[in-house]
Each structure stands twice: as C-alpha cells, then as structure tokens.
Structure 1
Amino acid sequence: MIDQNDHSASADPDDAADAFPPEPSKSQRKRDTDAVRALGEELAALPASTLDTLPIPDDVRSAVDELQRISRHGAKKRQLGYLARRMRQIDLAPLRAALEKERNAARLEIRRHHLLEQWRDRLLGKVAEETPAAALTALLDSHTGADSQRLRQLQRQALAEQSTGKPPRAARELFRELRQLFAAAQDEHAAIDETNTRDLP
C-alpha cells in the first residue's frame, strides 16, 4: 500500500535537475581552459615585484617562476599546461580581483604620464594659443606650493635648448620636476582624505 503522505514517488523532476546541475558543455570547458591558460600567460609576463603582491600559492608561484625561466617553445608550452592545471585547483577569484586592481593602477599611471607630458609641452610652447609664460602662470596658480624660481629657470633653459637644437637636458629635468610636483600634490590630497575620514563620526 502506498502512503499518500509519501511525496518521494512524485518528486518534481525540476527539483532533481536543480540538485544535479548539468555538466558544462565541451565548448564551455574549452573556454574555461583557455581563460586559465591566458591568465597563466599574464602572470608569466609580470615582474617579480608585482607577483610578490598577488595572492598566489607557493606551488603556483613556483610554476610561474619556472615558466619565466624557460625559453624553448615546446618546453614553455608544456610548463604553461602544468601551470594551468595547478591554477584550476585553486579559487581564482581573489587573484583575478588583484590583477584587475593592478591593471587599474597601470592605467592610472599611464594617464598621469600623459598629463605630465601635456604640461611639459605647454611650458615649452608646443600648445597652440598658449604662450610658455601663460602655461607657467596656470601651473603655479594650480600648485601654490611649487618652487616657482626653479620652474622658471628650467623653463628658460629648456626653451633655449629647443631654439638652438641642443640636447633636451633641461626639458628632461623639467619633466622630473613636474613629476615630483604632482606626486607631492597627490600625497597631500591623500593625507587630507585620510584625516577627513578619521574625523568622521
């Protein structure tokens, strides 16, 4: 006699499907494998100083270091396969998040470099409708703590080099001065933000 209160015999097939999700397709498995290999190649292209900051287990790091040492194509391909197998055994989410943060930092550094180049070009009169003097005034107005005498001296020397075709020693020094100026301003803003954060209730 069948117990009418026993629902096991009439279990919803959808519930069974939810309990045992379908296996990923062959094409999906290949995409996942390719993604892990690409991640391994990206790791192998990073300098040791960057790898040291990433959440990588020791065995994976050793495999990355070995991959960087190998130069022969066949051996390199085999080592990449080994690295990918090791990586598939760990949770890659923290590593991917750390790499994305590193990429964002690299993109930010590129933007900063371009900004410095733009200021240098403005100071050397390479921007239409702005004189070098006007550019220097704009720079000093936006960075009140700048060494105006030093910047004027470097600007004069760089402009003289530019007009006579001499090597751009002063222009390079001007660029370094701009880098230090903007870095100091960034540190000051970061310190102010940290102070304001501590003062929050």
Structure 2
Amino acid sequence: MTRQPDEWLDDVPDNQDEEDEEIIWVSKSEIKRDAEELKRLGNEMVDLGKNSLDKLPLDEELRAAIELAQKIKKEGRRRQIQLIGKLLRNRDVEPIRQALDKLKNRHNQQVALFHKLEQLRDRLIEQGDEAMPEVLALYPDADRQQLRSMIRNAQKEKAGNKPPKSARQIFQYLRELAEA
C-alpha cells in the first residue's frame, strides 16, 4: 500500500511544529563575527600585565591559556589567541568585559589626572605666586613654603636652560597631594 503525501503529515508529532518555530536561526556570518569579537577580547587580555589580569574574573584554564599566549611569539601566539577565543565561547564573558572596561576607565582617569597636574605645574612655574591660591584651594594640605621654593628653583632652571629637575619635583609633589 502506498501512502499519499497528506498521510505523511500524520506521522509528524504535533509538538514538532512548535519546536521548529522556537529555534532561532543564526547566520554563519553572525557566528563568525561573534567568534572574532571573542578573539579580540582574548587579545586584549593577553596584552594586559599580571596585576591587571589578577583583577579579572578568570578561571584557571583560561588564565593558564592567557599566560601561555603572553610567552609565545608570532604564529603560535595567533593560534593560542584562537584557542582563548574558543574557550571564551563556553563562558559568560560579560563579567570579564565589565572588569576590562573598569580597568580601561581607571587608566583613562589616571591619564586625565596627570594632564591636569602637568598643566597646574606649568601654570605655577609661569605665574609663580599668582597661581598659588588655585593649588591651595584644590589641596589645602599643601606646604606653601616648600612649593614656593620648588617654583623658584624651577624658574631658575628654566631661565638657565638647565634640566627641569625642580619641575619634576613639583609634579611629584602635586601627584602626592592628589593621591592623599
């Protein structure tokens, strides 16, 4: 007995149609883009130093793979980063991304602070006592006498075309005040 095409549908369970509707199809290109993104994330982690890596939520296997990639050069490193990307596919990468963003942001904040301190130091050297109230407003604990002495020395060094030893001391002092 030969079955008609309409009879074939009777063999398919009713819930099979529902399961087909629930499957979300992902294109091959999207899968490749996701894999590339995970490799970039892995590469960022490989470029970090040991102290920064300690601040990321990494399991032992992933940490070991990253440390190995840091030791390898050229083609082996590229393959190791691919492996790290593959390991990341099986993990929740959101906590890692958040920790990396936090590290980058802290670095950007530190760079901005250094630029601000450099500008303040330059104003102190150029303007002398006129810029002193700005420093004392920002850092009330600053030693006015010590700062004036460093400013005078920096101005003498600048006038005599000598190395800016006192300017570096002023920057260091301002940095200590900012960190305190």
Specify if TM > 0.5.
Answer: yes
Displacement of 1:92 in angstroms is 0.5
SS at match of 2:56: coil
Q: Where does 1:62-101 land on structure 2 (aligned, <5 Å)?
A: 62-71=64-73, 73-101=74-102
Displacement of 1:18 in angstroms is 5.4
Measure the CA separation in 1 of the matches of 2:88 and 2:115.
36
Instruction: Name 2:130's counterpart in structure 1.
Output: 134
Give 1:114's aligned amino acid: H
Greater helix content: 2
Measure the CA separation in 1 of the matches of 2:130 and 2:165.
23
Instruction: Name 1:5's counterpart in structure 2.
Output: none
Q: What's the TM-score, normalizing by structure 2?
A: 0.87
Displacement of 1:25 in angstroms is 0.6
Q: Deviations over 1:38-79 (max 9, x none)?
A: 0010001000011011101110010000000001x2111111
Instruction: Name 2:62's counterpart in structure 1.
Output: 60
Instruction: Name 1:149's counterpart in structure 2.
Output: 145
Q: Deviations over 1:76-132 (max 9, x none)?
A: 11111111111111111110111111111111111111111110111111xxxxx22
Measure the CA separation in 2 of the matches of 1:17 and 1:147.
75
Measure the CA separation in 2 of the matches of 1:160 and 1:141.
26
Unaligned runs of 5+ in 2: 1-12
Displacement of 1:17 in angstroms is 5.7
Q: Where does 1:3-82 land on structure 2 (aligned, <5 Å)?
A: 16=19, 19-20=22-23, 22-71=24-73, 73-82=74-83
Q: What's the TM-score, normalizing by structure 1?
A: 0.78
SS at match of 1:124: helix
Runs of 4+ in 1 over 4 A off after TM superposition: 15-18
> Rg bigger for which structure?
2
Instruction: Indicate the RMSD between aligned Cα atoms, in angstroms.
Output: 1.7
Contact 2:121/2:171 (8 A) holds in 1 = yes
Give 1:19's aligned amino acid: E
Measure the CA separation in 1 of the matches of 2:139 and 2:33.
50
Give 2:22's aligned amino acid: A
Identity value in percent:
34
Unaligned runs of 5+ in 1: 1-7, 126-130, 185-201
